[in-house]
Amino acid sequence: MRTMTSTKAPPPAVRRGPARKVAMMLALGPPAAAVLALERRFPQWWTSRFPRTVAEIEQDPACLGTLITKASPGLIAAPPLPSGAVAHGQRRLEGLAHEPGKNLTLAKWEVSFRAGDAVVPVRVVTKLQSGRNAPLYMQALRAVFERAFLREVAFYRHLAAIVPVRVARPYFVDGDPAINRACLVLEAIDGITPSDAAGCRLDDLRRLLDAAAALNAQFAGRLDRPETAWIPAREGLEFADWTELFLGKESRGVQRLWAALKAYFQSKPVTLAHGDCRPGNMLFTSDGVVMSDWEAVNIAPLLWDFTYCTITGLHVEDRQAQIEGLLDAFLDRLQRGGAANTPGRDSARVEVDLLAMVLAYVSLIVVERGLWAQGNAMADVRAWLARVKNAAITLDAERAAMAIGVPPATVREFQDVMRARPVLREDS
């Protein structure tokens, strides 16, 4: 990974307030949705620099060999090949057994190259972002608010070479934000991706948290570098501002609590966060962890990745038993990594509870709008919902309320809302 070089950083993203975002959504959302719908209905109308489906790759035996060796806007770096090697063919390898729905957009391949009398195999993974089963209006929102970039494409172009964690080497990365399409061709790495529902081994979870802490520490207080300038969210809970668009039907207490959480985190330290940091998005190898699935990379509070990972990646009883020790180790790793303004132990524990409520707010929108129905295994979805709900309803309401300056009854009202929301049991 260290041999990769980051490409020229894009111009800084334009930040917009909530009122401006609503106006943009109303003005540009319908046209964006129309474009997305037309492209899916009549893909032949849209020319593309890259394949948009696994079937397109399968139909062209020279597709991947060309993508990862021929000069193009999407080429990051060719795989290590003997001089004069030419593409010889490709074959699809085994698919995902745990999450078969993702096989429509994710595939593993062996691409062969001929160099003289020798055939050199190169194993790659292709990821073809298309929104999968996300509702059309949510894809339109992405097209409106992130018109100039696609997050995972931008990550591999501008950050993959400098993050202090292991990531798959990118060979080809390209995308078209207007129609929410992307094509990534990455090196294939042997390892294990656990099912979140089945649970992650504690040793593996510690390795993941150690990697997340290294990532968070490197960028804490250092977000003025050009490689992160393209990320619109820059402080507090801006990364989750979109949830406000869907809170109108909630009670005043629930809306008041969200406003208090936003005010609390507005001035708190932020850093570069993976954003979807859970074991099921990672690849565990014999000597470490490869961080993958960077579609949600963002700037978020310092303990967001920790909170997200320990809630979504651990069984409820395991989190309750291990949270204190895991937090101590995470804070120690942040400090050793030079993270600016690392909170003290007591403050950090409160912030984890507050971020658990933030995750619960996001989850309310995600589940009720069908945003987790994107090829994820239903066993995982049930586990995430049960764990998020438990973290929200079992936290200390008085301690959380005191930290953000609201009556304890306001926090309890939100906890009651979470209890009342229908959710399948984790073990069902």
User: Per residue in 252-305, pLDDT tens?
Assistant: 999 999 999 999 999 999 999 999 999 999 999 999 999 999 999 999 999 999
Distance from CA of residue 19 to its chain's centroid? 26
Q: Say what the pLDDT of residue 32 is.
A: 60
Q: Which of 24-33, 122-131, 167-176 has the lowest mean pLDDT?
A: 24-33
Q: Say what the pLDDT of residue 337 is.
A: 96
Check whether 5 has a pLDDT greater than 90: no
d(CA 182, CA 170): 13
Model confidence band, residue 242 (pLDDT cutoffs 50, 70, 90): confident
Distances (CA, A) of 354 to 251, 269, 417: 19, 14, 16
Which amino acid would we find at residue 406?
V
Q: pLDDT by residue (tens digit) across 322-360?
A: 999 999 999 999 999 999 889 999 999 999 999 999 999
Q: Say what the pLDDT of residue 47 is.
A: 83
DSSP string, 168-182: PPEEEEEEEGGGTEE
Q: Which of 8-12, 61-65, 105-109, 320-324 has the lowest mean pLDDT?
A: 8-12
**Average confidence (pLDDT) over 130-154:** 69
**Average confidence (pLDDT) over 36-56:** 81
d(CA 192, CA 177): 31
What are 66's two structure tokens?
């060309």
Q: Are 329 and 209 in contact (CB under 8 A)?
A: yes
Check whether 140 has a pLDDT greater than 80: no
d(CA 28, CA 376): 29
Check whether 396 has a pLDDT greater than 90: yes
Please report the beta strands in 292-423, taking only residues with DSSP state E, as ranges in sequence order: 298-301
Q: pLDDT by residue (tens digit) across 182-240?
A: 999 999 999 999 999 998 899 999 999 999 999 999 999 999 999 999 999 999 999 99
Q: Say what the pLDDT of residue 367 is.
A: 78
Angle (CA) 327 331 332, round 5°: 115
Check whether 373 has a pLDDT greater than 90: no
* pLDDT > 90 in the chain, percent: 67
Using the Cα atoms of residue 298, residue 299, residue 301 and residue 303 in order, give the sign of their dihedral. positive
Distances (CA, A) of 405 to 144, 167, 233, 416: 35, 41, 24, 19
Distances (CA, A) of 67 to 173, 176, 292: 9, 16, 21
Tell me the domain boundaries of the chain.
Answer: 18-187, 202-420
Q: Say what the pLDDT of residue 18 is.
A: 62
User: Which comes out higher in pLDDT, residue 335 or 249?
Assistant: 335
- Within 10 A of 227 (CB to CB), how many other CB atoms are there? 23
Residue 324 class from Cβ within 10 Å (0-12 exposed, 13-18 middle, 19+ buried)? Answer: exposed
Check whether 1 has a pLDDT greater than 60: no
Q: Say what the pLDDT of residue 299 is.
A: 98
Q: Does the domain at residues 202-420 carry the CATH identifier 1.10.3470?
A: no
Distances (CA, A) of 340 to 174, 229, 263, 352: 34, 19, 21, 18
Which amino acid would we find at residue 181?
R
Taking the alpha carbons at both ends of the chain, their separation in whole angstroms is 41
Model confidence band, residue 428 (pLDDT cutoffs 50, 70, 90): very low
Which residues are CB-contacts of 26 (< 8 A; sequence separation ≥ 6)? Answer: none
Check whether 369 has a pLDDT greater than 90: no
Distance from CA of residue 29 to its chain's centroid? 23
Model confidence band, residue 427 (pLDDT cutoffs 50, 70, 90): very low
d(CA 260, CA 253): 10
Check whether 4 has a pLDDT greater than 50: no
d(CA 31, CA 179): 11
d(CA 300, CA 241): 11
**Average confidence (pLDDT) over 31-49:** 73
Model confidence band, residue 14 (pLDDT cutoffs 50, 70, 90): low
Q: Are 64 and 93 in contact (CB under 8 A)?
A: no
Check whether 9 has a pLDDT greater than 60: no
* pLDDT > 70 in the chain, percent: 84
Q: Are 294 and 155 in contact (CB under 8 A)?
A: yes
Q: Are 315 and 172 in contact (CB under 8 A)?
A: no
Q: How high does pLDDT run on average in the chain? A: 88
Model confidence band, residue 176 (pLDDT cutoffs 50, 70, 90): confident
Q: Are 275 and 299 in contact (CB under 8 A)?
A: no
Q: Helix, strand, coil: what percent of the chain each, to 5?
A: 45, 15, 40
Q: Say what the pLDDT of residue 252 is.
A: 95
Check whether 102 has a pLDDT greater than 80: no
Helix (H, G, I), strand (E, B) or coil at 65: helix
